[in-house]
Structures are given as C-alpha cells and as structure tokens.
Amino acid sequence: MSGPHRPGPPRPTDPSGLERYYVLTGGRSGPGGPAAGLDVATLIVSRSAPAPGMQHEHEEIVRWCRDPLSVAELGAHLGLPFNILAVLVADLLEAGLVDARDPIPASTPGHGADLALLEEVLSGLQRL
C-alpha cells in the first residue's frame, strides 16, 4: 500500500490547453469583419500555396483546403474548436490566401435556394 499522494514539482504548461489557443489567436476570441459570418457549413478553399514563414496552423489550413472543405471538416482534421479555427481562417481571408463560399450558392443572390432543386428533392423523397 502506498502512502498519501504528495504533489511533486509543478508541471510545465500543457501545450494543448487553453494557453495554446490564446497563443494561436493572439488573444482573439472570435473572427471580425467579413469572417464573422463563417459557420460550420462554410466551404474554405485555398487561393495559393503556403507561404514561407507562415504560422504552422495557417499552413495546415491552406494545405487541407486545396479542394473545398467545410469549416466543420477542417476543424475535425486539425483538432481545433470552431471559434479558434474561425479566427485563423479570418486571418487567411484577410490576407487573400483562402476564399470562403456558401456550400450551395443561391440561384438569385439573397433569395435562398433554387426552387426547382427543392422540388426535385421533394419529389425524390416522395418516391421513397
């Protein structure tokens, strides 16, 4: 039987904790400007290759998004929470290194999804 647990010397800070997120985002808690409208279904696509000297996480985002990838999928691949990823994507959007796209573009800007497409989906569901 062992004796009572005695605390040892202080451990170094866990690099995967909140401190890491603070450092990655420069203390920002959410994106600003045009990136404030990002959601989990927004598709991100790279406009260029990673630049030398980029922050590692920015490089990873640019690499993963050679083909369009949703913010949710990107977060799963990188193991980052949405708000942290949104700040990093906002940086890349501001620098012009990535584009953000709606997953299904509206037929007429500002008027929602294509009515014909919705009718085809409904018809297909009714045939099931």
**Residues sharing a CB contact under 8 Å with residue 75, sequence separation 6 or more, in sequence order:** 40, 81, 82, 85
Compute the distance between CA of residue 85 and CA of residue 31 in angstroms, rounded to an integer. Answer: 9
**Model pLDDT for residues 1-27, shown as the tens digit of each residue:** 444 444 444 444 445 566 676 667 666
Kindly report the pTM of this predicted structure: 0.62
Cα–Cα distance between 32 and 61 in angstroms, integer?
18
What gap in Å lies between CA 124 and CA 83, rounded to an integer? 37
100-122 residue pLDDT tens: 988 765 555 555 666 777 788 88
Q: Which residue has the higher pLDDT, 61 or 17?
A: 61
How many Å apart are CA 111 and CA 23, to the nearest integer? 40
Task: Give me 102's structure tokens.
Answer: 């709606």
Question: In this predicted model, what pLDDT tens digit does every residue of 81-107 receive, in sequence order?
Answer: 888 888 889 889 988 999 998 876 555
